[in-house]
Structure 1
Amino acid sequence: MASLSALIHTLVTKATEKDLITNRDRFYARNQILGLLQEASYQETDELLSMDIPDVLEELADVAQEKGMIEGLLDEREQLTAKIMDVFLSKPSAINDTFYQKYEIAPEQATAYFYQLSKDSNYIQTKRIANNIHFKSASDYGDLDITINLSKPEKDPEQIRREKEMVQNVAYPQCLLCAENEGYVGRIGHPARSNHRIIEVPLEGEEWFLQYSPYVYYNEHSIVFAREHRPMKINRDSFARLTAFIEKFPHYFIGSNADLPIVGGSILSHDHYQGGNYTFAMTNAEDEFSFQVDAYPEIEAAVVKWPLSVIRLRHADRQQLINASDDILQKWREYSDPEANIYAFSDNTPHNTITPIARKRDGMFEIDLVLRNNRTSEEHPMGIFHPHADVHHIKKENIGLIEVMGLAVLPPRLKQELAAIKRYLLGEEVNVADYHQNWVQSIQEEHKAITTANVDQIVEDALGAKFARVLEDAGVYKTDQAGREAFRRFLAFFNQ
């Protein structure tokens, strides 16, 4: 292991090169790190290690562990490394000021500054994200994004035991999205946020904030969240805030998970959206057919050629889109069509909601309204419009906003399982998980000549086809003739 002085010198130098601090700040930064590591002395050195910031932080955590300062649990290591990076960060008010100084020049400059800062400060876990497997897969609906998520480190058994033993009577911050996480040191079971900064982005007279996801799934993967800790709710205010955001940041899209279990995202307890600077397959999907919104004749409206059921609205005036979107939402919430297996309520339990996505394109505001229904049945206990049992070997979690737009976030187990499948297809004697057997057999039947040269592409294509099936399961109106006729029945009901 390199000397502590060389590690600190390297970290301070790297932080200076990234403009986190200036040369004038070097002594201060060095001494703060020495204090965090309970080290009184420092040996002047010019030794610059060929390491990036995340690697230096890992070695500094090793030093702390050797000194007995921490036991080496993941949360303890991250608390320390986040504190170290906080040394190089300005106070939140200064970062907000810089953001809006750059915003005056161009919104793109402001977000580029904050995104780079979030990466350089190691809040965005760039080294871990690099472990993710990502590729595109052609489908009838465009090029789908496939990601096998390997960026979140697994907790060791000792940390899991500690979390279970701890009396979780701390209700601060209330959740992982609350503004109070900014600068929070963290604890066992709650991630370190010392190096976390958020940007004020007022929306429609309310306090809202912008941050980036620590484990970005696409370029500039951002989270926009309410100051108030309140449950997710899709309503007229949602459409107003979404369009207000893209009016401020027209180079971004922004969308919301649905507000009901099964079809919603993983965090329904805090009102928030996700956005970013990325073009998904759904964004590029063509109009399948257009229709008239009778109450808003100037709005361009179409059903999108996409496995989920998407209404796309376009207009230069966002107020028109807000009104029309709310009208569609209200009509959808009360709509049932037994022939299409759609029921709005079971007794008093609502089932219909919407996943909305907003963007600006060619000077026009554009809103996609993805119709969702979370009803379950005996045949499909996890959800009628949820990945069905025959695709659970690939994906059985909720289909949230990111998946809706065409980016699969698949479980880490698939890395090893797919490697085994490829070896099996090449004739090696290897165990393949029972739940993959039917899939592997179908691949063998479809491809008679599988070689080392084509096996990767064959398996990737098969995985992409499975994800397309996942999305088709989630569509309330199927893409066949009967499904499109049922979709038109809802549009007629809306226009009554």
Structure 2
Amino acid sequence: MNELIQQLVARAIHERLIEPEDAIYARNRILARVGQVAFEEQADVVSRPIPDILDDMIEVLITSEQLPARLEDKEQFAADVMDIFVARPSDVTATFRRLYAESPVAATDYFYQLSQASNYIQTKRIAKNKRYQAETAYGTIDVTINLSKPEKDPREIAAARTETPTASNYPTCLLCVENVGYAGRANHPARANHRIVPLTLTEESWALQYSPYVYYNEHSIILSQEHRDMVINRDAFARLLAFVEQFPHYFAGSNADLPIVGGSILTHDHYQGGRYTFAMDRAKTLTSFTFPDQPTVTGETLQWPLSVLRLKSTDPSALLDAATTVYETWLTYTDESQDIRSHTGETRHNTVTPIARQRDGQFELDLVLRNNRTSVEHPDGIFHTHADIHHIKRENIGLIEVMGLAVLPARLLQELQQVEQFITGEVDEVAVAHAEWAQELKQTYDGQDVTTYVEQAVAAKFVRGLEDCGVFKQTEEGQAAFGRFVQLVTRQPVEEQR
């Protein structure tokens, strides 16, 4: 254990989590945490990544029966040890603000590096994800098979049988500010090494943090300091624009605020942001239009599987007014020819997925039109991925997927390997869910690299699922219907850009 402690302290200095003068203090705090009262310094210390050192420390403690083998105990130990190296929240905020005065990029670079070095961002687990890009009719999209969720080993499963989870509603949810420094429990993750940076958005108290399981570069979460339900409205658009005004190198977007078309957490008002260019950002313009009441605002519809209105202006106030007009018109919009109904009785179906950014000297606000109505034929959602896509993706199509990053379930890693073997004749059958699709792929396979062939087919399936989510389809009829909606909003004809 001595060598591991020395490695960890040395690496923390290397990562600039602490200064050399802090080494003895940090070492002694770790000794107390592992129940050790003496220390003998080692001559040579190997430099290794912090997650690897923590894993080895945990295994030593489990073997010596000083730490239970449960996942929550391992995560609590790792977070608790790393908290020794992470500055207090007030110091993190002070450093962030000092750097922000130099440049917003310097501030977020510091905070992102801190969140990785502190092991809050689970870099080792994230590295397990399979990632690739694929060409589609809508451009190059990103595909990720999410393998970063930790697996429970048999020791944990056995221990869990005798445990009763602690009943608590503190913190209220995974996004609440009370998670900062929280030790964790069986049904709530360890957050001892977690830090946030307070923000003010439209005179409200918000905060910035990074996702512990980032899906793209600098994947951040922008959260209300008040625990309240997600709501998409003019105020939400204003906050998104305020955020990208403060951090012009980041985008900011929100999941929709209704089930089926929304994200996994609808009970805490929050957005997501980051420093990444998605496929939707690069989508081609199909039509353009203007707003007679906001002459500084221009609009576009995009060649994208979902129905997107991209609004642009150098004036964020005018952009906000135009976006509000679009949103309020969409809330009550019905077009039976496209299966769009705004309400069933008092139940609302229409909402949007909004995304804000700055680009080429202008503010942009993308409004992706969403509808969560279901039917007998499509019980999971008329504008959700349909049944023939579910063997690849059944989960909600949220903000990240809307922009062209497919986040696919871990089960696909082995299942797709079996599909490859079926195509090349190494096995005679595949999982029932993939059988029809695999047979189709086998019939059109002509000897190319089978992994690339299947990866492209998965991407095509995902894009087909996105097309299911589009309320106005990328067909002549669908685009004509989209044009009617735009004309209703703007009271102006649209100009085709094909």
Alignment of 1:87-166 (within 5 A): 87-156=84-153, 158=156, 162=160, 166=164
**2:372 corresponding residue in structure 1:** 374
Contact (CA 8 Å) 2:13, 2:20: kept in 1 or not?
yes
Alignment of 1:151-190 (within 5 A): 151-156=148-153, 158=156, 162=160, 166=164, 169-190=167-188
How many angstroms does 1:439 deviate by? 1.0
How many angstroms does 1:445 deviate by? 2.3
Deviates more, 1:388-397 or 1:61-70: 61-70
2:346 maps to a residue whose letter is: N
Q: Which whole-Å CA distance do the structure 2 matches of 1:294 and 1:147 have between them?
A: 42
Contact (CA 8 Å) 1:288, 1:304: kept in 2 or not?
yes
Q: 1:127 to 1:167 in 2, by over 3 A?
A: closer
**1:10 corresponding residue in structure 2:** 7
Contact (CA 8 Å) 2:286, 2:301: kept in 1 or not?
yes
Q: Which whole-Å CA distance do the structure 1 matches of 2:159 and 2:474 have between them?
A: 47
Contact (CA 8 Å) 2:310, 2:367: kept in 1 or not?
yes
**2:361 corresponding residue in structure 1:** 363
Alignment of 1:448-467 (within 5 A): 449-450=446-447, 454-467=449-462
**1:339 corresponding residue in structure 2:** 337
**2:76 corresponding residue in structure 1:** 79
Contact (CA 8 Å) 2:307, 2:369: kept in 1 or not?
yes
Q: 2:434 aligns with which of 429, 433, 436?
A: 436
Alignment of 1:263-274 (within 5 A): 263-274=261-272
Contact (CA 8 Å) 1:6, 1:49: kept in 2 or not?
no
TM-score w.r.t. the length of structure 2 is 0.96
Q: Which whole-Å CA distance do the structure 1 matches of 2:18 and 2:388 have between them?
A: 53
How many angstroms does 1:395 deviate by? 0.1
Q: Which whole-Å CA distance do the structure 2 matches of 1:311 and 1:429 have between them?
A: 47
Q: 1:120 to 1:457 in 2, by over 3 A?
A: same
Contact (CA 8 Å) 2:308, 2:369: kept in 1 or not?
yes
1:247 aligns with 2:242: no
Alignment of 1:273-312 (within 5 A): 273-312=271-310
1:108 maps to a residue whose letter is: V
Contact (CA 8 Å) 1:148, 1:415: kept in 2 or not?
yes
**1:472 corresponding residue in structure 2:** 467
Contact (CA 8 Å) 2:11, 2:47: kept in 1 or not?
no
Deviates more, 1:36-45 or 1:211-220: 36-45
1:53 aligns with 2:61: no
Contact (CA 8 Å) 1:20, 1:89: kept in 2 or not?
yes
- Give deviations 1:119-169, integer Å, cap 9, x for gaps: 001000111111000000101111010000001112457559849963553
Contact (CA 8 Å) 1:185, 1:193: kept in 2 or not?
yes
Contact (CA 8 Å) 1:163, 1:188: kept in 2 or not?
no
How many angstroms does 1:69 deviate by? 2.8
Contact (CA 8 Å) 2:296, 2:315: kept in 1 or not?
no
How many angstroms does 1:273 deviate by? 0.2
The aligned length equals: 490
Q: Which whole-Å CA distance do the structure 1 matches of 2:157 and 2:180 have between them?
A: 23
**2:421 corresponding residue in structure 1:** 423
**1:207 corresponding residue in structure 2:** 205
Please list every run of 5 or more consecutive structure 2 residues that lacks an aligned counterpart in the other structure: 492-498
Q: Which whole-Å CA distance do the structure 1 matches of 2:200 and 2:47 have between them?
A: 42
Alignment of 1:381-400 (within 5 A): 381-400=379-398
Q: Which whole-Å CA distance do the structure 2 matches of 1:185 and 1:422 have between them?
A: 44
Superposition CA RMSD, Å: 1.5
Contact (CA 8 Å) 1:281, 1:406: kept in 2 or not?
yes
SS in 1 for 2:291: coil
**1:36 corresponding residue in structure 2:** 33
Q: 1:163 to 1:360 in 2, by over 3 A?
A: farther
How many angstroms does 1:431 deviate by? 3.8
1:370 maps to a residue whose letter is: V
Contact (CA 8 Å) 1:309, 1:475: kept in 2 or not?
yes
**2:494 corresponding residue in structure 1:** none
Q: 1:379 to 1:423 in 2, by over 3 A?
A: same
Contact (CA 8 Å) 2:306, 2:470: kept in 1 or not?
yes
Q: 1:129 to 1:430 in 2, by over 3 A?
A: farther
**1:491 corresponding residue in structure 2:** 486
1:21 aligns with 2:18: yes
Q: 1:160 to 1:270 in 2, by over 3 A?
A: farther
TM-score w.r.t. the length of structure 1 is 0.96
SS in 2 for 1:417: helix
Q: Which whole-Å CA distance do the structure 1 matches of 2:250 and 2:267 have between them?
A: 24
Contact (CA 8 Å) 2:166, 2:185: kept in 1 or not?
no
How many angstroms does 1:424 deviate by? 1.5
How many angstroms does 1:490 deviate by? 1.1
2:150 maps to a residue whose letter is: P
Please list every run of 5 or more consecutive structure 1 residues that lacks an aligned counterpart in the other structure: none
Contact (CA 8 Å) 1:7, 1:49: kept in 2 or not?
no
Identity of aligned residues (%): 52
1:226 maps to a residue whose letter is: S
- Give deviations 1:1-31, integer Å, cap 9, x for gaps: xxx1110000000000111111100000000
Deviates more, 1:205-214 or 1:485-494: 485-494
